[in-house]
Structure 1
Amino acid sequence: MNFRIGLIISLFIASICMVKGQSQDKKIEKLLKQMTLEEKVGQMAQITLDVVGKGQTRFASDEPLALDADSLRRALVKYNIGSVLNTANNRALSREKWYEIISQIQTMAMKETRLGIPIIYGVDEIHGATYTVGATMFPQQIGQAASRNRDLVRKGAEITAYETRASNIPWNFSPVLDLGLDPRFSRMWESFGEDPYLSTQLGVEMIDGYEGVDNNIGDPTHVASSLKHFLGYHATVSGKDRTPAYISPDALREYHLPAFKAAIEAGAHTIMINSGIINGIPVHANYELLTKLLKEELGFEGLVVTDWADIENLHRRDRVASSNKEAIRLAINAGIDMSMIPYQYEPFCEGLVELVKEGKVKMERIDDAVRRVLKVKMALNLFEKPNTHYKDYPKFGSKEFEKAAYDMAAESITLLKNTENILPLAKNTKVLVTGPNANSMRTLNGAWTYSWQGEKTEEFAGQYNTILEAVQKEIGEKNVFYQPGVSYKMDGHYYEDQLDGLEEAVKMAANADVILLCVGENTYTEKPGDLNDLYLSDNQTELAKRLAATGKPVVLILNEGRPRIISKFEQEMDAIVQTYLPGNFGGDALADILFGDVNPSGKLPYTYPRYPNATISYIHKPSEEQKKAEGVYNYEADYNPQFIFGEGLSYTTFDYKNLKLAKKAFTKGETIKVSVDVQNTGDRAGKEVVHLFSSDLYATGITPDVKRLRRFEKINLAPGESKTVTFDLTTDDLKYFDATGKAITEAGEFELSVADLVVRFELVD
């Protein structure tokens, strides 16, 4: 009976959705028939807020922010602009100001334009409602990946959607599904790390959190998500932002595509395009990727938006178009639906109108793009409710939401080394807190926090605790000494530092039982984060060596967006804790871990390299592991990371036993059932992440990877408690792609591994 009732309800809901969808389609087609070419092209244009703010130029607005009615009218009424993005003056706004500004824009769009089509407003809210004062800031995605906690990832996205809507913003340029394979890359921390399966799993959780599991983005607690950056954005040869990548068909489908494919299947409404170049072709001009792969093969029916000024870049930077107008032709015909212009919108609008009249862009392509734009606007219910009011969101910035951010930070922080169990520390320990990251809310959060590069964070986050303040709160100020030793420069590159009381810090160590050395990076993203040296800075390295020479135990606390190399002094550190970019509650979570209130459970979402020329992912070919004994050469390029993907210690111990398969041979299409017993053999409760890896022992034509993550589960065990963890694999999980990009599931021998346990089986036709 219950099954029948559930089935009836499901069918009823499905029928309602179908009717609603058909009704929206009719409205869209009716609108399209009414629209002029100029009105259609305007819907395909997106401008930044400063363009319509009062100010001396289009690049900055006066403070306090106010809209310029003439500029707004020119954009919305004369040029029919359909979308606005970003904040003004690179600064977070209050909920009240967001409501004031966006509601004014919507009023003009709906009352002064001929057809009354609302605009769609979008912002990068990548670890919370990052451009709203008082919003809840979560760890950046790289830390969320370290938590391995699907529920917390989804909860964080739900809260971000709620607080974004409380800001009257319905469109979020998130999540980042780029594969963070290269530790040199300036945006590695915006990703879920180097593993395709991990990125896929957490990406879907984030989509479900933003949009709801039924993708009902008309719900005023949900937002439209934007997958980014399609495709292969992080895979640059140089490791620097917006530089060329060369990706083979098998690598593209094996590593870079899975997370996007799963997110599209999860119903994501929009997608943003890679600003770079793949195999010599700028992605914004790549018909094969944007139309043939994305829209036709993957069946993506949503809105395709450019990144910042990337149609213009086809002409001025990438030089595949001899003019801006030619760049517009290439991008729109390739499959772009909306151009993030962001300042000079007139050339785009006028140029695209001319291209259609000249027959160089077909009206069918324009209609397809506008149809996709209108579909998202209708799904968001903007025609009926163009604004959401902050007064309707009483949980904004609440203790409940703060607790979720704290929990994520606590589960993401990763203990990488703990010599002689020096951690946790007793609460009567006298500590020296030092290093450039010790007393900074900016470095705890990273970029995209209250401003693009995060440099304005201190203005808005003063009520939260830095690492220093959290430690003082934990054990009392009388037990804490502080001297930075090194500090970040206020000018120059965002990650430069300078000596600042190093000798004083060394002297103060004499009064401490333990040194908490807080090092890492200042905030950065995109081009400002490009670097030429992956080693931790010389000044911070000197500070670490000098402090280690005092003979006092040193706990190295890493606060960084990518793994900066520490091999010059790692052996002299007694413990190492990776915090990533843990957000406003990272200091509190770290202090609770250092002094034993919380048992760490984070696991590395990437491989931590030991040397600059050894940045090899855990996903690699067997030839990366050639040992010295295998020949006469002294191989310096052997696989030799500082810490391995998935590594992370606990204050308790776990024992793995009885890795079992249901049988020794499976046929294609069968479910492969795997089980393993895990026991907490220590004296305190702890959370453990169980990783299941597979290895294809031999493959035809393509050298298989040494191993690949196929499943993971995070479990909580009391002291002495055991649990049997079971996984179901499909034989599709064992496929690989050949040199042409064709998927192959091949009979042969495979191994499955969990911790140090290995079991072998055969796949037969």
Structure 2
Amino acid sequence: MTEIITGLQGEIPANSRKGVPYVAGKKNVAACAKHYVGDGGTNKGINENNTIIDRNGLFRIHMPPYYNSIIKGVSTVMVSYSSWNGQKMHANHDLVTDYLKNKLRFRGFVISDWEGIDRITSPPGSNYSYSINAGVHAGIDMVMVPLNYTDFIDDLTLQVKSKVIPMSRIDDAVRRILRVKFMMGLFENPLADLSLADQLGSQEHRELAREAVRKSLVLLKNGKSADKPLLPLPKKAPKILVAGTNADNLGYQCGGWTIEWQGLSGNDLTIGTTILNAIKSTVDPATQVVFNENPDADFVKSNGFSYAIVVTGEHPYAETYGDSLNLTIPDPGPSTIKNVCGAIKCVVVVISGRPVVIEPYISTIDALVAAWLPGTEGKGVTDVLFGDYGFSGKLARTWFKSVDQLPMNVGDPHYDPLFPFGFGLTTKPGMVRSTSAGVVSRGANVFSLISVSIISLLPFSLFI
């Protein structure tokens, strides 16, 4: 995943010194490796929680992405809200200064998270002067203070003047920040190059996003038996049903951190193509597409549909708002699956930021697709549903049967997943796609189960 650093900053020169930040030019941006360190291993997966693990485990599982980021010339590292064995990372001098800066020789700058130093105390901000002291002493060079910046500046200045915080600590922070700014050329070109603005949302970028969608989809089930697959779906059918809360909701497709922090519901958030509209533009013009968000079973049985596509899943969330101890699909998702798939051949497309509870419905579903958060390009989903491209994606995370199994990772004695890490069925494009009286004809469809041998799995928490 650290390859994205090169994509953002540019290819680091062969003779570059390890740990020194590198940005190639005006068309590149500084990358940030976050959230340092152990953010992906918090107790019960709760945001800003405590990562309980010994030093060897922390360095073996959670630290490798940071080694690689530094080698790639990453410019900044952001500290995590979380704690390690009870100590807040924003106050951890051992890991921020002694290890990251001194041992790994990282020469970029360390930045706090949004109001990160406030959270050193409980409740947040209850001893702001202490929090400033602890965060700056830990080795944070740039402090993200979105609101009470005057209080921060006044208190920091007072602590420096009274020598509670040594000037050498300030010099270190300034030196690191200036190093990155000089490397980026911000003094020669302080403003963004507006000639690049017309590339935002360009058709070229949308096509790339569409490709990313179709390659990331994971086919988890295809037919009640291997010799009777449902996918790819025929484009030419008399009448098909599209159901589910996520079928015609661009905000749900995109998830959180889309324009708004928590994202939004509906189609006014940004420009894109919903999965429903993608289906309508993909099927034969003579095919009637009926959309009913949450139909009852009688409606499904009485309308003579050839097949149904149910698009359901999670609502948008970001950070703590996404914490869940049950990981269930919100209502009316389960009833929609039951009503539709209990009455007609159906494919269920799950829109989610993570594996969710699906085991109770598996036997009812004919085909199941994990679409994650496909974003604005709904046609990336229909590209594979209707066979213009084959399914090729594999699970990057174990899909559990029940939350009672969690935490569960490859190699655990109790490893008994619904779908194992690396699982993904494949299909080939170019099949015969037609129906006669609602019966799917499947020419030379290829259906195969990829068996993956897992040697080791090192989960990591690097988001750039």
TM-score by length of 1: 0.54
Q: Kindly indicate whether the alpha-carbon contact (under 8 Å) linking 2:112 and 2:140 is maintained by their aligned counterparts in 1.
A: yes
Distance 2:131 2:415 in 1: 43
Match of 1:591, SS state, is helix
Are 1:206 and 2:9 matched, yes or no?
A: no
Match for 1:424: what amino acid?
Answer: P
Higher relative contact order (CA 8 A, sep 6+): 2
Identify the residue that residue 521 of structure 1 maps to in structure 2. 314
Identify the residue that residue 442 of structure 1 maps to in structure 2. 251
Identify the residue that residue 346 of structure 2 maps to in structure 1. 554
User: How far 1:534 moved relative to its partner?
Assistant: 1.5
Cα distance change on mapping 1:459 and 1:546 into 2, 3 Å: closer
Distance 2:96 2:43 in 1: 22
Task: Kindly report which structure 2 residues correspond to 1:229-628, keeping only aligned pairs within 5 A, or say none.
Answer: 229-317=35-123, 323-392=127-196, 394-419=198-223, 420-429=228-237, 430-455=239-264, 458-462=267-271, 464-475=272-283, 476=285, 478-485=287-294, 502-503=295-296, 506-507=299-300, 510-550=303-343, 552-585=344-377, 587-621=378-412, 624=413
User: How far 1:652 moved relative to its partner?
Assistant: 4.3
Q: Kindly indicate whether the alpha-carbon contact (under 8 Å) linking 1:218 and 1:381 is maintained by their aligned counterparts in 2.
A: no
Match of 1:458, SS state, is coil
User: How far 1:220 moved relative to its partner?
Assistant: 1.2
Match for 1:438: what amino acid?
Answer: A
Cα distance change on mapping 1:216 and 1:257 into 2, 3 Å: closer
Distance 2:330 2:256 in 1: 19
User: How far 1:461 moved relative to its partner?
Assistant: 2.8
Match of 2:317, SS state, is coil
Match of 2:310, SS state, is strand
**Deviations for 1:185-209, whole angstroms, at most 9, x for unmatched residues?**
xxxxxxxxxxxxxxxxx2x210000
Distance 1:559 1:239 in 2: 20
Q: Kindly indicate whether the alpha-carbon contact (under 8 Å) linking 2:425 and 2:450 is maintained by their aligned counterparts in 1.
A: no
Identify the residue that residue 434 of structure 2 maps to in structure 1. none
Match for 1:596: what amino acid?
Answer: G
Structure 2, gaps ≥5 residues long: 13-20, 430-442, 460-464
Identify the residue that residue 32 of structure 2 maps to in structure 1. 226
Distance 2:50 2:415 in 1: 26
Are 1:639 and 2:415 matched, yes or no?
A: yes
Distance 1:340 1:643 in 2: 41
Task: Kindly report which structure 2 residues correspond to 1:146-185, keeping only aligned pairs within 5 A, or say none.
Answer: none
Distance 2:241 2:451 in 1: 36
Cα distance change on mapping 1:478 and 1:685 into 2, 3 Å: closer
Match for 2:32: what amino acid?
Answer: S
User: How far 1:394 moved relative to its partner?
Assistant: 4.8
Match of 1:645, SS state, is coil
Match of 1:431, SS state, is strand
Distance 1:684 1:383 in 2: 59
Q: Kindly indicate whether the alpha-carbon contact (under 8 Å) linking 2:22 and 2:73 is maintained by their aligned counterparts in 1.
A: no
Q: Kindly indicate whether the alpha-carbon contact (under 8 Å) linking 1:210 and 1:222 is maintained by their aligned counterparts in 2.
A: yes
Match for 1:599: what amino acid?
Answer: G
Distance 2:256 2:266 in 1: 9
Distance 2:221 2:162 in 1: 66
Cα distance change on mapping 1:392 and 1:468 into 2, 3 Å: closer
Q: Kindly indicate whether the alpha-carbon contact (under 8 Å) linking 1:217 and 1:380 is maintained by their aligned counterparts in 2.
A: yes
Structure 1, gaps ≥5 residues long: 1-201, 486-501, 625-637, 654-681, 695-706, 711-765
User: How far 1:239 moved relative to its partner?
Assistant: 2.5
**Deviations for 1:603-623, whole angstroms, at most 9, x for unmatched residues?**
1110111101112443333xx
Q: Which has the higher strand share?
A: 1
User: How far 1:548 moved relative to its partner?
Assistant: 2.6
User: How far 1:687 moved relative to its partner?
Assistant: 12
Q: Kindly indicate whether the alpha-carbon contact (under 8 Å) linking 1:692 and 1:709 is maintained by their aligned counterparts in 2.
A: no
**Deviations for 1:485-510, whole angstroms, at most 9, x for unmatched residues?**
1xxxxxxxxxxxxxxxx427844663
Match of 1:421, SS state, is coil
Cα distance change on mapping 1:245 and 1:337 into 2, 3 Å: same
| Bigger radius of gyration among the two | 1
User: How far 1:223 moved relative to its partner?
Assistant: 0.2
Cα distance change on mapping 1:318 and 1:393 into 2, 3 Å: closer
User: How far 1:442 moved relative to its partner?
Assistant: 0.8
Distance 1:512 1:560 in 2: 27
User: How far 1:211 moved relative to its partner?
Assistant: 0.3
Task: Kindly report which structure 2 residues correspond to 1:646-661, keeping only aligned pairs within 5 A, or say none.
Answer: 646-652=422-428
Q: Kindly indicate whether the alpha-carbon contact (under 8 Å) linking 2:181 and 2:187 is maintained by their aligned counterparts in 1.
A: yes
User: How far 1:582 moved relative to its partner?
Assistant: 1.2
Distance 1:325 1:310 in 2: 14
Cα distance change on mapping 1:687 and 1:384 into 2, 3 Å: farther
Cα distance change on mapping 1:436 and 1:326 into 2, 3 Å: same
Cα distance change on mapping 1:345 and 1:230 into 2, 3 Å: same
Q: Kindly indicate whether the alpha-carbon contact (under 8 Å) linking 1:603 and 1:646 is maintained by their aligned counterparts in 2.
A: yes
Q: Kindly indicate whether the alpha-carbon contact (under 8 Å) linking 1:599 and 1:686 is maintained by their aligned counterparts in 2.
A: no
Distance 1:684 1:478 in 2: 22
**Deviations for 1:48-72, whole angstroms, at most 9, x for unmatched residues?**
xxxxxxxxxxxxxxxxxxxxxxxxx
Distance 1:558 1:506 in 2: 22
User: How far 1:216 moved relative to its partner?
Assistant: 4.8
Cα distance change on mapping 1:483 and 1:536 into 2, 3 Å: same
Match for 2:171: what amino acid?
Answer: D
Distance 1:374 1:564 in 2: 45
Q: Kindly indicate whether the alpha-carbon contact (under 8 Å) linking 1:446 and 1:523 is maintained by their aligned counterparts in 2.
A: yes
Match of 2:267, SS state, is helix
Q: Kindly indicate whether the alpha-carbon contact (under 8 Å) linking 2:300 and 2:340 is maintained by their aligned counterparts in 1.
A: no
Distance 2:144 2:266 in 1: 26
Match for 1:314: what amino acid?
Answer: I
Cα distance change on mapping 1:688 and 1:368 into 2, 3 Å: farther
Match for 1:525: what amino acid?
Answer: A
**Deviations for 1:628-650, whole angstroms, at most 9, x for unmatched residues?**
xxxxxxxxxx3221111111111
What RMSD, in angstroms, separates the aligned Cα atoms of the two structures?
A: 2.6
User: How far 1:365 moved relative to its partner?
Assistant: 0.7
Cα distance change on mapping 1:509 and 1:433 into 2, 3 Å: farther
